[in-house]
Amino acid sequence: MEKVRIRASRQYDVCIGRGILGGLPGLLTESGPGGPGRGRLGSGLNGKLEHPSPDPLLVVSDRAVARLYLGGVEAGLAKAGYSVRTAVFQGGERLKNERSLSSLLRIMAREGLTRDSIVLALGGGVVGDFAGFAASIFMRGCGFVQVPTTLLAQVDSSVGGKVGINLQQGKNLVGSFHHPLLVVCDTGTLATLPGREVVSGLAEVIKYGLIQDRVVFERIEETFHGWNLKGKGGRLTPASVKEAVLGDEDLLRFLIRRSVEIKGEVVSADERERSLRMVLNFGHTFGHAIEQITRYLRFLHGEAVIVGMKMAVGLSRLAGLLAPSDETRILALLDIFPIPPAGRIDAEALYVQMGRDKKMKGGAIHFVLLDGIGKAAIVPGVEKGKVIESITNTLAR
């Protein structure tokens, strides 16, 4: 197991390793609020070092993940002396709504959670966002722990402290900055993922390579551009992407660790997304609008981000920032990943939806574009015609 320390307003560790979920109680003990070796993590935000805590610990999960892992997690925590409660919901992006949030908050009150309790999010990014937001507002804030079970959540959404829910008008419009006390990434849980979920997670890793670390981009490029040369033949499928990523443990650990390190560096420099942290939204201004306009039915989040990155890459070239040769190289990689067809998306309607994005400032959308592979730039007020052109060109591809 290896650890990455996130140095934000609350410091915490991201633990990465295969088979570490079984040692979750010990990890909670080792990573207290004062740092490793300072006592039991938990007792919420107040920093008491009791072990085990008399306050209930609530595990929040979705049905698919609960069938696989909830029993073992619950039994291990109970054996270690935790007073464990559980709340299981139907999964999917539509979980992140006011009605589900109200239901979870009522469960927390009914089960006797206190400000010193821990909410443990067991699942993908949706569960982490949803449970983390509930923890951020229950009794004005209790502690929570992220146990991400998808690649996307392990490389991105479990780190950084952004939690929230969606509104009908847009994605993640209601939320908080509320850091976890600990993140536990067991790479063994990724084996049960469908191939599409691995593609979705890999999209976020490619994002990190494009905005800050050319080496990450080149490692992925090397892995997949050589696919046919390795005798695999044919086009990539979700299953073959999963085989390539999960079949190379060194590559997998590198991609997770480096993604977490990059996000940690950005978050520590701009925790509240005033400026620099916006670069983490590369491809997401387009991608969130695509998810919203297709009602979260056509694309997984990372699949929509792949389409969004293509649009952002095209816009980067139209804005005079990105060399045509770099655009060609990036699109050559993004184009090989299997995602659902875009279908009938109207460019004008997508532009209007993007205008509801959180990155709107002073009446202008602040786009995250590329000034080269590994170098992001925040550009306000890009001419509408160029944005529409980038959308139209991508949809035509």
Q: Which of 3, 263, 310, 366 is catalytic?
A: 263
Q: Which of 301, 358, 359, 366 is catalytic?
A: 301
> Can you tell me whether residue 352 is helix, strand or coil?
helix
Q: Which of 85, 288, 310, 358 is catalytic?
A: 288
Q: Which of 40, 85, 96, 162 is catalytic?
A: 162
Q: How far apart are CA 177 and CA 352, in angstroms?
A: 27
Q: Are 115 and 42 in contact (CB under 8 A)?
A: no
Q: Which of 40, 96, 178, 277 is catalytic?
A: 277
Q: How far apart are CA 369 and CA 387, in angstroms?
A: 12
Q: Enumerate the β-bridge partners of residue 87.
A: 60
Q: Which of 30, 197, 273, 303 is catalytic?
A: 273
Q: Are 161 and 121 in contact (CB under 8 A)?
A: no
Verify whether residue 140 is a known catalytic residue: yes
Verify whether residue 327 is a known catalytic residue: no
Verify whether residue 271 is a known catalytic residue: no
Q: Which of 284, 310, 358, 359 is catalytic?
A: 284
Q: Which of 99, 110, 140, 295 is catalytic?
A: 140
Q: Per DSSP, which regions of the chain are E strands?
A: 2-6, 12-17, 31-32, 35-36, 57-62, 84-89, 118-123, 143-148, 162-167, 170-177, 182-186, 360-361, 364-370, 376-380
Verify whether residue 386 is a known catalytic residue: no
Verify whether residue 277 is a known catalytic residue: yes
Q: Which of 196, 271, 281, 317 is catalytic?
A: 281
Instruction: Name the nearest CA neighbour of 255 among 301, 295, 300, 207.
Output: 207
Verify whether residue 273 is a known catalytic residue: yes
Instruction: Name the nearest CA neighbour of 255 among 301, 300, 223, 302.
Output: 223
Verify whether residue 263 is a known catalytic residue: yes
Q: How far apart are CA 370 and CA 372, in angstroms?
A: 5
Q: Which of 74, 93, 197, 204 is catalytic?
A: 204
Catalytic residue list: 140, 162, 204, 263, 273, 277, 281, 284, 288, 301
